[in-house]
């Protein structure tokens, strides 16, 4: 497992993509690109709506990759259906279409949330 906290700035979006790409298991170029795109969407949402620093966690076990972005924001992530001329609002739809599963967890106490996704990855052979 790897975990890193980033400042809530637009510069953290490309840095989080690079961090994710460096810490992914071997999974092929197409899957790697899809994972990095989903990371970008979650991190962008955190920067826009999360309020303060966010933490990204990447964990891989038994052929399942779990990526989570946690921030202190009060907002509730929802899937939007934007009009074709709206320039934003598609991030979670992208994640939902590319991930095997995704969701939101809220802490028992206090503000914040964790938005996560999972994808199946090849299991390395011995």
Q: Quick one: pLDDT at residue 84?
A: 75
pTM of the model: 0.92
Q: Where are the domains of the chain?
A: 2-120
**Residue 32 CB-density burial (10 A; 0-12 exposed, 13-18 middle, 19+ buried):** middle
Cα separation, 80 vs 116, in Å, equals 17
Which has more pLDDT, 80 or 106?
106
Grouping H, G, I as helix, E, B as strand and the rest as coil, residue 32 is helix
pLDDT per position as a tens digit, 36-72:
999 999 999 999 998 899 999 999 999 999 999 999 9
For residue 91 the two structure tokens come to 């991030």
Specify the CATH number of the domain 2-120. 3.30.565.10
């Amino acid at each position: 497992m790897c975990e890193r906290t980033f400042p809530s700035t637009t510069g953290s979006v490309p840095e989080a993509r690079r961090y994710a790409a460096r810490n992914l298991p071997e999974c092929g170029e197409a899957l790697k690109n899809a994972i990095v795109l989903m990371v970008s969407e979650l991190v962008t949402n955190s920067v826009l709506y999360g309020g303060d620093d966010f933490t990204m966690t990447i964990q891989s076990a038994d052929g399942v990759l779990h990526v989570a972005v946690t921030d202190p924001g009060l907002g509730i992530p929802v899937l939007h259906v934007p009009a074709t001329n709206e320039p934003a609002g598609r991030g979670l739809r992208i994640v939902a279409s590319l991930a095997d599963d995704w969701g939101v967890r809220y802490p028992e106490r206090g503000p914040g949330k964790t938005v996560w996704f999972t994808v199946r990855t090849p299991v390395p052979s011995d």
